[in-house]
Structure 1
Amino acid sequence: MDNPYQRKKRWKYLLLFFAVIIAGSSLLYTQYLVKNIAKSERKSAQVWAQAMKQVFKTVDEDHLNFVFLVRDSLLVPAIITDEKGDFKFSRGLDTTKTFIELPPEPGIDNKKAPVYDIKYFENELAIMKAQHEPIKIKMDIPGLGETFWFVYYKESLLLSQLRVFPYIQLTIIAIFLGVAYSAFSSERKSEQNQVWVGLAKETAHQLGTPISSLLAWIELLKDKFNAEEDPLIAEMANDVKRLEVVADRFSKIGSKPVLDAHSVYEVVNDFVNYFRVRVTDKITFEVRGDRYLKAGINVPLFDWVIENLLKNAVNAIEGKGSIKVDIVASKARNQVYIDVTDSGKGIPRSKFVTVFRPGYTTRKRGWGLGLSLTKRMVENYHNGQIFVKDSEVGKGTTFRIVLRSIEE
């Protein structure tokens, strides 16, 4: 049976697939329109080119007027050059840049005829060459003989805008969807947090009465059977006190915990000593490190962190193995590293991030909340970090907790 995270992931991929289909369809349809408009503009340019050719052949005035009418019907900018690339005619260019006035020659009271601005024409011609293949027309000009001219034309503003419009449209849609998704996700997370906080506080409240009763019953057992030193009753008392700690944890959820300076080694070692007698003796525990390293810790919540990691390690071992906790300092970064290493079945590298997500579990009866809560308690409540430092399938896993060290 799929867990909620996997179903959610499948839905995301499905929605992404449909989004890609919609975006692709939009792009394909736009490209279809662009091709049709481009073909239409090329046909217009070909008609204009033939009209220019007829100008040099037509003698009849009525026919010539018709040719001029066809020639002037082209809506896109165009330039005609000869075989050498020299400018012959133009159409639809910027009239303020098309020609430049040359100053008169010194000592002569006349002006030279205006000529075309070479730099402007070269820039426009380069753009046209990059956009379309030229239209080649054969010319037979009296006095010049047979030659070839080349008609270059520029795509219309409409066509240029149509090329970029779908990308602008898709970008705007993507930004809108991203903002909407973030808003809904934030709202949903806020609602979920409120539900979890309410449930946690109610659980702590409900646990309070039976825990108090159990403590009273233990004291009565000690008095009735004169069993102050009885180890079984002592362990019962430890477990009831543990329930008190659990209830205290739940009552603190949703509020900012107080962090005090504690020896990291002592906090971790105390909980490991409590935990080791409650699991099989086939698993060995070892805590190593500097006893004097201190960090800001809320002990009930941090015990919960260590408990989740140890339980996760025990489940991964599934039999005989070892769990080691190494506590080291990084003086350069002013940090304390807590590495929890087990000899269990390991985690695939592709799941290093996934294991911290709510709902992810490899056990049939698991809720998939342990590591998710651990990450929240480390990052949100202790201002630290937790991640999978290293893992190899079949050999084991190392989780690393990073806390800010406190110098005294």
Structure 2
Amino acid sequence: MYFGGMNPYQYNQQRWKFALLILAALIAAASLLYTNYLVRNLSKSERTKAEVWAMSMRNIITMPDFDDEMITFIFAVRDSLSMPAIIADARDSIIYWRDLDSTKTNILSDDEDENLQYDPVYFSRQLTIMKRSHPPIIINLPNNGQWFVYYKDSLLLNQLRFFPYVQLTLIAIFLGIAYTVFNSIRKSEQNLVWVGLAKEAAHQLGTPISSLMAWLELVRAKFDAEKDPLLIEMESDVKRLEVVADRFSKIGSAPVLHNHMVYKVVVDFVNYFKVRTSDKIVFNVSGETKAQAMLNVPLFDWVLENLLKNAANAIESAGRIDIVILENIAKEQIFIDISDTGKGIPRAQFDAVFQPGFTTRKRGWGLGLSLTKRMIEYHKGHIFVKESEIDKGTTFRIVLPSSQTYEPAQI
């Protein structure tokens, strides 16, 4: 089986997703650029404040010539600094600090003398951080000595640096939730449309099917043709139409599952299907004949019909379709492998073939395998492409539980 290409709906959907992704990237880039601009300006402002603070500390050292008002002003400037800073000498001995952890210093009182006792590990670590953050501001002392003012960014500046990432994360979470909600609403609306369309189709099919059955009975009675093989086949097809109408009428309701021999269900459908396809295609059913599973036969026949039709379409002339039924007793699972000798599927499309609208046929809707996957899920199972090779064939595997208590599932 070979599938490929993308329908217009998928193309437009991908295009809009790509456009929204580009828009989100532009918004993120603009936010980061503007925040970096603010951080640079604020960093320059803090450098200026640190220089003013260093100048005030220098003036305090030489303040004997200042009057009380000027001294008050200089101390006010010194105390206005709002960032962590340390003044150290050339040997990294700490002379003064501000806005660091006050619990890392103790004021020891001995009569009239008060001394600051620093936590050497904490202040050494802070001094190292400050040295890496910014180049020092040098204070030249009157006696030709030098002090060095080290500082690090304020809490506000650090918060501003991380703000856009927090902002973008929150926006991404909000958009993800919004997309999930709206996508769920859209799918729910689509499901309602499909359910309505399916039930209306079943209703419209009911009248002509009943009429055809009546006409068949009249033909049999008029020409005394109870055993006529053509009428028998016609009746089989009309009954098949009844099954199809019944499928559509049940969409939207809970499927009823019963215990069945999987081998018999598969053989019955293959016997019906193979006489309605090319006689150049050979069908073969093999494997476990006693394996049992909970099935809704009309729905499971629909699964087989979709897979066998795809297999037959993939075989251009003569070929073979094998259905092998296996049972894993330890895991209580039944495997149904459906293999063909058709065109094959590229490995990159193994998952895409189950997406709605994915098809290569010009007149196909690309819903067959999507519906197949959903119907297998109603049976508490799953389906996947087991293996495929271009121009050699494909194997689909259906996995069903062999015994399980089932909860009703909505179609």
Residue equivalent to 2:8: 3
Residue equivalent to 1:397: 394
User: Are 2:52 and 1:47 aligned?
Assistant: yes
Letter of the structure 1 residue corresponding to residue 185 of structure 2: E
d(CA) in 2 for partners of 1:285 and 1:209? Answer: 34
Q: Is the 8 A contact 1:80 1:89 kept in 2?
A: yes
Residue equivalent to 1:373: 371
TM score, norm. by length of structure 2: 0.88
Q: Is the 8 A contact 1:80 1:152 kept in 2?
A: yes
**Residue aligned with 1:237, SS:** helix
Residue equivalent to 2:106: 100
d(CA) in 1 for partners of 2:91 and 2:336? Answer: 78
d(CA) in 2 for partners of 1:10 and 1:337? Answer: 38
Q: Is the 8 A contact 1:50 1:137 kept in 2?
A: no
Which residues of 2 match residues 108-127 of structure 1 at below 5 A?
113-127=115-129
Q: Which has the higher contact order (CA 8 A, sep 6+)?
A: 2
Q: CA deviation at 1:337?
A: 1.0
User: Are 2:179 and 1:173 aligned?
Assistant: no
Q: CA deviation at 1:219?
A: 2.2
Letter of the structure 2 residue corresponding to residue 134 of structure 1: P
Residue equivalent to 1:82: 89
Residue equivalent to 1:384: 381
Which residues of 2 match residues 253-268 of structure 1 at below 5 A?
253-268=251-266
Gaps of 5+ in 2: 1-5, 405-411
Which residues of 2 match residues 151-230 of structure 1 at below 5 A?
151-230=149-228
Q: CA deviation at 1:349?
A: 2.2
Residue equivalent to 2:298: 300
Letter of the structure 1 residue corresponding to residue 281 of structure 2: I
d(CA) in 2 for partners of 1:49 and 1:398? Answer: 79
d(CA) in 1 for partners of 2:12 and 2:112? Answer: 86
**Residue aligned with 2:115, SS:** coil
Q: Is the 8 A contact 2:261 2:293 kept in 1?
A: yes
Which residues of 2 match residues 121-140 of structure 1 at below 5 A?
121-130=123-132, 132-137=133-138, 139-140=140-141
Q: Is the 8 A contact 1:55 1:64 kept in 2?
A: no
Letter of the structure 1 residue corresponding to residue 396 of structure 2: F
Q: Is the 8 A contact 1:337 1:402 kept in 2?
A: yes
Distance change in 2, residues 1:393/1:52 (3 Å): farther
Aligned residues: 397
2:23 to 18, 21, 28: 18
Q: Is the 8 A contact 2:137 2:150 kept in 1?
A: no
**Which deviates the most, 234-243 or 194-203?**
194-203
CA RMSD of aligned residues (A): 2.5
**Which deviates the most, 55-64 or 1-10?**
55-64
d(CA) in 2 for partners of 1:161 and 1:133? Answer: 18
Letter of the structure 2 residue corresponding to residue 309 of structure 1: L
d(CA) in 2 for partners of 1:178 and 1:68? Answer: 53
Distance change in 2, residues 1:395/1:50 (3 Å): farther
d(CA) in 1 for partners of 2:49 and 2:114? Answer: 35
Distance change in 2, residues 1:3/1:283 (3 Å): farther
Residue equivalent to 1:240: 238
Letter of the structure 1 residue corresponding to residue 181 of structure 2: A
Q: CA deviation at 1:72?
A: 4.0
Letter of the structure 2 residue corresponding to residue 91 of structure 1: R
TM score, norm. by length of structure 1: 0.89
2:342 to 344, 358, 361: 344
Q: Is the 8 A contact 2:85 2:151 kept in 1?
A: yes
d(CA) in 1 for partners of 2:107 and 2:137? Answer: 31
Residue equivalent to 2:3: none
Tell me the alpha carbon deviations over residues 346-366 of structure 1, each in whole angstroms, 9 at most, x when there is no partner. Answer: 222222222212111111111
Gaps of 5+ in 1: none
Tell me the alpha carbon deviations over residues 81-140 of structure 1, each in whole angstroms, 9 at most, x when there is no partner. Answer: 23332212213334x425304487xxxx8977332333442353354345x123152645
Q: CA deviation at 1:388?
A: 1.7
d(CA) in 2 for partners of 1:103 and 1:384? Answer: 80
d(CA) in 2 for partners of 1:129 and 1:343? Answer: 72
Q: CA deviation at 1:393?
A: 2.7
